[in-house]
Structure 1
Amino acid sequence: MPVMYQVITPPTPIEDLKGVGPKLRDKLLELDIKDVNDVVFTLPSGHENLTVMDLREAAHNDKVTVAGTIQTEPALAYFRGGKNRLTVFMEINGMYVKVIFFNQPYLKDKLKVGETVKISGKFQRHKLEINAQRLIYDDSGGYRVKYSLGGVMHSKTFSKLVAQVFENAIFNYDLPEDLKGKYRLLSIREALWRLHFPGNPHDINEARRTIKFYELFIFQLQLMEKRRRERVRNERYIVDYDVGALRTFIDTLPFELTDDQKRSVNEICRDLKQNVSMHRLLQGDVGSGKTIVAGIASYAVKTIGEQTALMVPTEVLANQHFQSFLEIFDGLLNIAKLTGNTSKKEKAGILAALRSGEIDLVIGTHALIEDDVAFNRLSLIITDEQHRFGVNQRKRLNDRAYRKNVLYMTATPIPRTLSITTFGDMDISIIKEMPKGRKPVETYWRRFEETDEVLDALEAEMKKGHNAYIVAPLIEESETLDLKNVQEIFQVFTDRFGEENVELVHGRMKPDEKEAGMRRFESHEKPVLVSTTVIEVGINVPNATFMVIFNAERFGLSTLHQLRGRVGRSDKQSYCVLISDPKTENAKLRMDIMTSTTDGFELSERDLEMRGPGDYFGVRQSGLPQFKVADLAEDYRVLEHARMSAIEYSAKMEGDG
């Protein structure tokens, strides 16, 4: 959902601006600059302060603009590859300073002894040296504004277009006066003007703060409007389930639900009783018990004789859920599994049973959205790891519902800022609490030369009758990356523990091969599983207590946490060992973070800070808003204030209406 950047009406097309001919118009259109709103919201990519400062007041590594007198003839030195360095000494504010220009040999004839010039660059205070970026010919001072325009035109030319818009356009939209007063915000027109034509650093900071709030406030209003459109009231949406039967079922469970599970069940069941379609996200850290919550919701729907569909992204996860639900319900629900690997004969029987209403719960992959799949009365749709499905795929299943109640589940703890922006049109239930008896997974970081010690520790776990996961980042050897591949690691472990004890599973295997390998591992026929990240989500082997992740620096925090979540799923103490020789500070930091906490929600916040919101899920999310100024990783407080303001403003508008 794009953020609304319409503050000028009518939105005059760019071709109507003075100086914009057909060629320039076409180039601007390539940059998605179509009208005057796009012009004023094409914000500077940087501001260079050209105001001359006193170098004595500058700190080490400060970017400075200074004026001084040239003391020596410039010396030009050339290096291999045509690179060069121009060195000159200047007197600046009473200091004798060495000034270096890289790859600007043409300046040699422009720097004359005794002349006063103005330069900008980075000041190395301890060396009394300036790494100069450029010689400044403009004596006006102030700021030099830079735009990212893909070579279409110079920043100075574009700046004239911006000035023309401000001179002639009428800004019709502004933030509500009470919000501007409450948060000390500028008008939208003034904020945009200060960003394009700043007078001082305070101007820029105040302007950025205003535009951040505007973006987040408008986006929250748009989400609320989307929510209103989708939540049409209709008595047909009510699932009037049998409360008594549901309570009896919960009482028969062989364990007590955690407080977070109880709260989530209550929130979902309350939604089902409403005359508005449910649209809820169930977040739960790995191993927190989301499956039983989804199962209880499915049973609620069963009490009125209607159906639930659970769609998952992989065959492995479908098999896992199918087995889990069979154990949970033990004949109380008629459950079927439908995947791309289901035989034609079996599929025909399942499709017929779905149409007749004989099946209460169907668990499947993308096979659930094939054209020949039809339901009797589908009243609850559960989508697991929903971000792995496209919007159209989810919609195809949702459109088949009789009562459109949708529950999304994810084992990826999502930072609050992303929850509000990406899932702001949903209600959210969160399970943080772990089931009783679970012990935190002890996590260690080891280097490759310590692998033998890790194997000794793994062997000790095997002697206790426990299983172990071994994770590699690649399937085959890479010519460009120095990584341990899964085939090589498989050989290491078979050499040490024997081929009869080690199973190999990876994403390029056929589904039936993967399933057979997983069965051998789960049954303890082969207690060690060497795998790629195919085991990241949904695999549940309570007997597994040991995990080794090779080249752990190649994974993000969320993926590492998801992998670690495959162990620690019983009352046995479990261990996760990260084997890595990180080459960067960022990679070392990830190893330190992973060994310091097992809290998935804390890790998700750190992951957001390190990777940025666009790549948080491993791929850039098309549904994630692209803001001009606001940064979801940094502007959490602004987002919260904007969200609350949008809620209050929307309620006021409804009341006035």
Structure 2
Amino acid sequence: MMQLYRVSKSSRPVEKLKGVGPKLNEKLNELELTDSDTILFHLPSGYENLAVMNLNDAKHNDKVTVSGRVRTEPTISFFRRGKSRLTVFVEIDGLNIKVIFFNQPYLKDKLTVGETVNFTGKFDRNRLEINGQRMIFDPSGGYRVKYPLGGVMHSKTFSRIVAQVFEDAEFIYDLPEEYRRKYRLMSIKEALWHLHFPENPHDINEARRTIKFYELFIFQLQLMEKRRRERVRNEQYIIDYDINALKAFIATLPFELTGDQKRSVNEICRDLKQNISMHRLLQGDVGSGKTIVAGLASYAVKTIGEQTALMVPTEVLANQHYQSFLEIFAGELNIEKLTGNTSRKEKDRILIELARGGIDLIIGTHALIEDDVVFKSLSLIITDEQHRFGVNQRRRLNDKALRKNVLYMTATPIPRTLSITTFGDMDISVIRQMPKGRKPVQTYWRRFEETDEVLQQLSEEIKKGHSAYIVAPLIEESETLDLKNVQEIHELFKNRFGEKDVELVHGRMKPDEKAEGMARFESGEKPILVSTTVIEVGINVPSATFMVIFNAERFGLSTLHQLRGRVGRSDKQSYCVLISDPKTENAKLRMDIMTSTTDGFELSERDLDMRGPGDYFGVRQSGLPQFKVADLAEDYRVLEHARQSAIEYAEKLSS
């Protein structure tokens, strides 16, 4: 499988390129441009259209390229610190235009009365003035190409190097002809040429469309190749679970599974029966019931006497899962929990039971990947919020398995575009439906001067025996940011509701202190919890019906939605109040979006639009490439076509 940005037969090192001496070689290496292919794909960051336009068609403040006849002798005035201003009147398209060039006094010798000149500048239509930027001495038109070179070299120098690469390179990799015809695409060589040496806007647009398709097509092929390598067929992978026992257990549940939960269980169980390792993502909004689906998969594995491990990123989340599984599966599964805070005596007992097969389901943090954790027959690995673990951490747990079946879970609704790219090597199950009886969380946006009204509503909820989360963005007061900090808010709520009702939890507390504080809140001893975003995941308190988020504009849509998911976890009506005085349109838009929908998948699409794919997970930890031209937030249709084409192409190669 070819690499994403490899198109020539043998990509030559830059030092072997004609015209590249030691100094240029050093500069190219500084830009991480090491061979001819990396140079070909170091694409322009912008273009300046040097084609002369009619000034009568220009709008106020447009950047223009014009041609005109010099009408007056240029005059130069000097002012502070050697700065200069050259002024000249030029007749352009029937208009007498005052043209000003700052700090370019040498242009005086280039401006002769009666002669025609070409130049670019910013047009002030109201004053009939142009703030000139540069003279054009080659009036042939076309484009001036701008490259992202960080000041290391001039774009003109780099353009010469690119031209030399085109002269020497032998292009052998290209898109299959059938897809070029179907989608009216250029060859890769032609597209790259038009991006580096454009002649008109149409060619630039068509070249960009071609490279977008190419990037997404090759990347999808790479994902499929990765999937093929990782999912080797082997009879050992078959888990021939007792389907009748599983159905009988489901019939005893005190609730009915939603349609999405049933479908997800069926998809996972179908994978377990296959002679190929499972590699599936279970994606569901907060509170959608992923735990029961994961538990039923564990139960299926238990029917053949084998084991499941559930690895989570935090101890808080491990505790929540442990309690949730015990509530449903106690007596049916032998469940244990292993974290960094497990006592030595307790850990030794668990390790013995794990090694002899006495534990059906082990729930733990990174502690599960330690060398002394040995399983008798680990056949299903479930990883929650897998993007919080490194590749090596996940691999170390996989290496302990008898049968390598992996189920990833995430409560972060992922836009379809990112699912296809980031998780394209996995099968995906999605839970959209909420369990019956759940009411959508009513979300409001209030300004700081309305805080008293919010506290009055909170007081009413506390009188009903309900609980409330209060979220602050900072732990301590900031000298540079005007934000409410958690200590300040804690004092506000203690004064209003009394110390006996208010608990404080934040990330800098010792684990034991944090756990004790959470326990007092979860038991109802203290009904108000003031915290930072440590409660974003892993907290399940059904009595909590009210959430207040201070300085809500400081959080992204995904974080706000995760926080909101801590309430609305019972049949009681719940509320989320965003307290914010947004200073920007972007922040105001986030408040409007949050109050308009509780659908995490819709929010994820809007979040992707606002933040871009690189910021959504963090490019490095998600494995998402930084494409040269493709934009996953905008190029969804191109991605769909490229993916389908890649699937067809891969099938033809394997047949």
- Same-fold call, TM cutoff 0.5: yes
Equivalent residue for 1:229?
229
Equivalent residue for 2:527?
527
The question of whether the paired residues in 2 share the 8 Å contact of 1:505 and 1:530 is answered with yes
| Distance in 2, Cα, partners of 1:456 & 1:102 | 61
Residue 100 of structure 1: how far off its partner (Å): 5.2
| Distance in 1, Cα, partners of 2:479 & 2:536 | 25
Residue 78 of structure 1: how far off its partner (Å): 5.7
The question of whether the paired residues in 1 share the 8 Å contact of 2:442 and 2:574 is answered with yes
| Distance in 2, Cα, partners of 1:237 & 1:388 | 27
Deviation per CA, 1:74-113: give whole Å up to 9, x if none: 575868x998876665432123445555666765776666
Equivalent residue for 1:538?
538
Residue 470 of structure 1: how far off its partner (Å): 0.5
Letter in 2 for 1:220: Q
Equivalent residue for 2:29?
29
The question of whether the paired residues in 2 share the 8 Å contact of 1:74 and 1:111 is answered with no
The question of whether the paired residues in 2 share the 8 Å contact of 1:186 and 1:207 is answered with yes
Instruction: Kindly report which structure 2 residues correspond to 1:465-614, keeping only aligned pairs within 5 A, or say none.
Output: 465-614=465-614
| Distance in 2, Cα, partners of 1:304 & 1:383 | 21
Residue 230 of structure 1: how far off its partner (Å): 0.6
Letter in 2 for 1:404: K
The question of whether the paired residues in 2 share the 8 Å contact of 1:76 and 1:108 is answered with no
The question of whether the paired residues in 2 share the 8 Å contact of 1:614 and 1:621 is answered with no
Residue 133 of structure 1: how far off its partner (Å): 3.7
> What is the TM-score with the length of structure 1 in the denominator?
0.95
Deviation per CA, 1:184-204: give whole Å up to 9, x if none: 000111111111111101110
Between 1:146-155 and 1:553-562, the stretch displaced more is 146-155
Equivalent residue for 1:393?
393
| Distance in 1, Cα, partners of 2:320 & 2:270 | 28
The question of whether the paired residues in 1 share the 8 Å contact of 2:474 and 2:483 is answered with yes
1:621 counterpart SS class: helix
Letter in 1 for 2:414: I
| Residues 442 and 3 (structure 1), Cα distance of their counterparts in 2 relative to 1, 3 Å cut | farther
Equivalent residue for 1:444?
444
Residue 124 of structure 1: how far off its partner (Å): 4.7
| Residues 133 and 561 (structure 1), Cα distance of their counterparts in 2 relative to 1, 3 Å cut | farther
| Distance in 2, Cα, partners of 1:104 & 1:331 | 85
Letter in 2 for 1:420: I
Equivalent residue for 2:175?
175
The question of whether the paired residues in 2 share the 8 Å contact of 1:2 and 1:625 is answered with no
Percentage identity across aligned positions?
Answer: 80
Residue 538 of structure 1: how far off its partner (Å): 2.3
Residue 123 of structure 1: how far off its partner (Å): 3.7
Residue 119 of structure 1: how far off its partner (Å): 2.5
| Residues 78 and 587 (structure 1), Cα distance of their counterparts in 2 relative to 1, 3 Å cut | farther
1:175 counterpart SS class: coil
Equivalent residue for 1:326?
326
Equivalent residue for 1:285?
285
Equivalent residue for 1:8?
8
Deviation per CA, 1:461-516: give whole Å up to 9, x if none: 11111111100111111122111111011111111111111111111111121111
Equivalent residue for 2:92?
92
| Residues 98 and 250 (structure 1), Cα distance of their counterparts in 2 relative to 1, 3 Å cut | farther
Instruction: Kindly report which structure 2 residues correspond to 1:119-518, keeping only aligned pairs within 5 A, or say none.
Output: 119-125=119-125, 128-518=128-518
Letter in 1 for 2:555: F
2:47 counterpart SS class: strand
| Distance in 2, Cα, partners of 1:458 & 1:173 | 64
Letter in 2 for 1:525: E
Deviation per CA, 1:23-54: give whole Å up to 9, x if none: 32232123222222112111111111111111
| Distance in 2, Cα, partners of 1:322 & 1:453 | 38
Pair 1:38 & 2:63 matched: no
1:616 counterpart SS class: helix
| Distance in 1, Cα, partners of 2:103 & 2:325 | 68
Letter in 1 for 2:522: E
Q: Number of paired residues?
A: 654
| Residues 237 and 164 (structure 1), Cα distance of their counterparts in 2 relative to 1, 3 Å cut | same
| Residues 309 and 102 (structure 1), Cα distance of their counterparts in 2 relative to 1, 3 Å cut | farther
Equivalent residue for 2:646?
646
Residue 115 of structure 1: how far off its partner (Å): 5.2
2:617 counterpart SS class: coil
The question of whether the paired residues in 1 share the 8 Å contact of 2:503 and 2:526 is answered with yes
1:445 counterpart SS class: strand
1:120 counterpart SS class: strand
The question of whether the paired residues in 1 share the 8 Å contact of 2:557 and 2:607 is answered with yes
| Distance in 2, Cα, partners of 1:553 & 1:450 | 16
Deviation per CA, 1:310-335: give whole Å up to 9, x if none: 11111111111110011011221111
| Residues 112 and 462 (structure 1), Cα distance of their counterparts in 2 relative to 1, 3 Å cut | farther
Residue 208 of structure 1: how far off its partner (Å): 0.4
| Residues 2 and 587 (structure 1), Cα distance of their counterparts in 2 relative to 1, 3 Å cut | farther
| Distance in 2, Cα, partners of 1:86 & 1:472 | 56
Residue 621 of structure 1: how far off its partner (Å): 3.2
Letter in 2 for 1:361: L
| Residues 51 and 363 (structure 1), Cα distance of their counterparts in 2 relative to 1, 3 Å cut | same
| Residues 111 and 524 (structure 1), Cα distance of their counterparts in 2 relative to 1, 3 Å cut | farther
| Residues 114 and 514 (structure 1), Cα distance of their counterparts in 2 relative to 1, 3 Å cut | farther
Letter in 1 for 2:254: P
Between 1:41-50 and 1:92-101, the stretch displaced more is 92-101
Deviation per CA, 1:511-553: give whole Å up to 9, x if none: 1211111111111111010010000012111111111111111
| Residues 540 and 191 (structure 1), Cα distance of their counterparts in 2 relative to 1, 3 Å cut | same
| Distance in 1, Cα, partners of 2:173 & 2:566 | 52
| Residues 98 and 430 (structure 1), Cα distance of their counterparts in 2 relative to 1, 3 Å cut | farther
Letter in 1 for 2:324: S
| Distance in 1, Cα, partners of 2:577 & 2:454 | 8
| Distance in 2, Cα, partners of 1:409 & 1:107 | 65
Residue 10 of structure 1: how far off its partner (Å): 1.8
| Distance in 1, Cα, partners of 2:466 & 2:537 | 20
Deviation per CA, 1:329-364: give whole Å up to 9, x if none: 122111111111111111111111111111111111
Letter in 1 for 2:311: M
The question of whether the paired residues in 1 share the 8 Å contact of 2:422 and 2:622 is answered with no
Point out where structure 2 has 5 or more consecutive residues left out of the alignment. none
2:367 counterpart SS class: helix
Residue 60 of structure 1: how far off its partner (Å): 4.4
Residue 7 of structure 1: how far off its partner (Å): 1.1
| Residues 498 and 143 (structure 1), Cα distance of their counterparts in 2 relative to 1, 3 Å cut | same
Equivalent residue for 1:627?
627
| Residues 465 and 83 (structure 1), Cα distance of their counterparts in 2 relative to 1, 3 Å cut | farther
The question of whether the paired residues in 2 share the 8 Å contact of 1:76 and 1:105 is answered with no
Equivalent residue for 1:53?
53
Letter in 2 for 1:467: S
Deviation per CA, 1:168-199: give whole Å up to 9, x if none: 22211111111111000001111111111111
The question of whether the paired residues in 2 share the 8 Å contact of 1:3 and 1:627 is answered with no
| Distance in 2, Cα, partners of 1:166 & 1:138 | 23
Point out where structure 1 has 5 or more consecutive residues left out of the alignment. none
| Distance in 2, Cα, partners of 1:453 & 1:414 | 35
Residue 403 of structure 1: how far off its partner (Å): 0.5
Q: Alignment RMSD, CA only?
A: 2.1
Residue 554 of structure 1: how far off its partner (Å): 0.7
Letter in 2 for 1:475: I
| Distance in 1, Cα, partners of 2:86 & 2:279 | 64
The question of whether the paired residues in 1 share the 8 Å contact of 2:75 and 2:86 is answered with yes
2:7 counterpart SS class: coil
1:204 counterpart SS class: helix
